[in-house]
Amino acid sequence: MTLPSQCSLMCLMAFAASISLSDSALSQKVASAQNESSDYTLRVNANLVILSATVVDHQNALVSGLSEKNFQVYEDHVLQTTKYFSHEDIPVTVGLVIDNSGSMGPKRTDVIAAALSFVGSSNPRDQMFVVNFNEHVSYGLPPATPFTGRQDQLQRAFSTIRTVGETALYDAIAMAIEHLKLGKCDKKVLVVISDGGDNASKHNLAQITAIAKASDAIIYTIGIYDDQDGDQNPGVLKRFARETGGEAFFPTSSTEIASICDKIAQDIRNQYTLAYVPSTAQLGGAYRSVEVKASSSGHGRLTVRTRTGYFVPSTPASAALEMVGHDTHY
């Protein structure tokens, strides 16, 4: 079943709240959701699994124009039945996580220019925030402004800290994932610009990896460092991206960061949304692996990037469904 172009994830969420209803009641529920204000969203449990997927060809170029029949979704290697499908540009809650440790000083101007380029390529309705970190982690925006789409406010947010000190990358990602939960957009994204090293966090790698996998964040990472930089850890940046359905980039110079940020913005804008109800019973707290495949004549071999899996929530389905208004702190 294909989602109409005018229906965003609101309709998809309405389906989750109506799984047990008759077909006619389901139609009424979806129609009702379409008429709700965009300031409202439905929170659902993992009975309905929602995936954001990026499809690229053998040249790593984005592939658009695919339909539901071009995709196959597997959970724990078992083929699933797709209940909803869409391909549209929806607003996103985005956290820009910027390394401001001492080693980043020579690259700072290019990093800020690249981050602003990303802002300029984004949907005007996106919610954005900034997390700056060295050995300390802080929000770039003032407390009264948890999110913004204004370029002038974001530019000030990038400039509130000096490039000095050590690196608390894991703590910064943990803080950013927690802040994403306050956003009202259904899709959550982090863009992390760092050398991948960490020498100052309270969290360790195992802890932050578990936090990332348990979240619904898509993490894109940009690793910038000099060959002689002893703190570099590209493997960590690749891991965060792979586990969450994002992508890791490693420019050879800081001047390439702007084009990479533009690419990430286009990637986010061109993702497919697929949803399914798992065909096997779910055990609360268990981890389910996910794989999405795509094929289409004329496109050659296609690669799909999406989350590698999800944790089944322990909350019973009946208690996990609720309609809530927009966040009062927004």
Asked if residue 115 belongs to a domain, the reply is: yes
Please tell me whether residues 195 and 308 are part of one structural domain: no
pLDDT in tens, 217-238: 999 999 987 666 666 678 899 9
**Is residue 285 within 8 Å of residue 311, measured between CB atoms?**
yes
Domain's final residue, options 269, 284, 303: 269
**Is residue 294 within 8 Å of residue 302, measured between CB atoms?**
yes
Q: Quick check: 132 pLDDT over 90?
A: yes
Q: Quick check: 322 pLDDT over 60?
A: no
Asked if residue 227 belongs to a domain, the reply is: yes
Better-predicted residue by pLDDT, 21 or 183: 183
Asked if residue 216 belongs to a domain, the reply is: yes
Please tell me whether residues 183 and 232 are part of one structural domain: yes
The total of structural domains in the chain comes to: 2
Q: How many CB atoms lie within 10 A of CB 166?
A: 17
Contacts of 300 (CB under 8 A, 6+ apart): 57, 58
- Alpha carbons 45 and 69: distance in angstroms, whole number: 26
Asked if residue 182 belongs to a domain, the reply is: yes
Starting from the edge strand earliest in sequence, which strands make up the sheet with 303-305, in order?
82-86, 272-276, 49-56, 303-305
Please tell me whether residues 126 and 102 are part of one structural domain: yes
H or E element that contains 275: strand 272-276
Domain's final residue, options 246, 269, 292: 269
What pLDDT was estimated at residue 188?
96
pTM of the model: 0.81
Please tell me whether residues 139 and 194 are part of one structural domain: yes
Please tell me whether residues 262 and 293 are part of one structural domain: no
**Is residue 43 within 8 Å of residue 320, measured between CB atoms?**
yes
Asked if residue 329 belongs to a domain, the reply is: no
Please tell me whether residues 316 and 178 are part of one structural domain: no
What pLDDT was estimated at residue 321?
35
Domain of 135, CATH number, reads 3.40.50.410
Structural domain boundaries, residue 46: 9-89+271-324
Please tell me whether residues 157 and 265 are part of one structural domain: yes
Domain's final residue, options 243, 269, 295: 269
